Amino acid sequence: LAIIMPDTSPRGAGVQGEDKAYDFGTGAGFYIDATTPVFAPNYQMFTYVAKELPALVEAEFGVSHELRSVFGHSMGGHGALTLAFKEPEAWASVSAFAPICHPTASAWGQKAFQGYLGSAQAAVCAGHDATELMLAKGPFKSLGEILVDQGGADEFLAQGQLRPEDLQRACEAKGQPLLLQTRPGFDHSYYFVSSFVDEHVAFHKRALTKKAAARAAAAQA
């Protein structure tokens, strides 16, 4: 099992304004392809994570292009969910820690969309929003159950930045299996992720093993 951990944005691109805030620019590419003139030449994070990086890993290390899962934390959780929902057949499973579940309805998401896409309007950004993608295109049967862990003491949950309840309602409306686990006492930090990451790795291993077995059986039929 190979675990690939990409960066969260370009580094040292020299783009004007990219280092002014922690939640936009350097360190916060939001896993979308920017279209605004300032950011578009460098900030193509969806294409990088969904296309370029998998192709490189598969070419250099002999990893199967048919057996992939995706997970992430916070902004990375948003990225994992939207990658999987946009191309569900490309992924065996998806999970997330404290993801930004409904970015068109959160300040973080609106800031990123305005800066990278030139608009924070839902009509422009819904295709980059896990909750809106679930409502518009779900359910995603090939992904099976989605796993989301959320810290119960997460300060950003209280601020309305994460909105897992919105994703939960969308999954219920579309019949998409979702295991949303609230972890009492845990915040948004590294310690939250490190406490439960083994469960996520095991979750993806099961899904990948199941998909590999199905493909092997189909090849022998």
Exactly one of 78, 102, 128, 188 is catalytic; which is it?
Answer: 188
DSSP string, 127-172: GG-HHHHHHHH---GGG-SEEEEEETT-HHHHTTSS-HHHHHHHHH
CB 170 within 8 A of CB 105: no
Bridge partner residues of 25 (DSSP):
28
Q: Nearest CA to 134 among 168, 170, 105, 161?
A: 170
CA atoms within 13 A on the CB side of 94: 26
Q: Is 9 a catalytic residue?
A: no
Q: Is 33 a catalytic residue?
A: no
Exactly one of 9, 69, 74, 93 is catalytic; which is it?
Answer: 74
SS3 label, residue 55: helix
Q: H or E element: which one contains 71?
A: strand 70-73
Exactly one of 33, 129, 149, 154 is catalytic; which is it?
Answer: 154
Q: Is 189 a catalytic residue?
A: no
CB 25 within 8 A of CB 9: yes
Residues belonging to the active site: 74, 154, 188
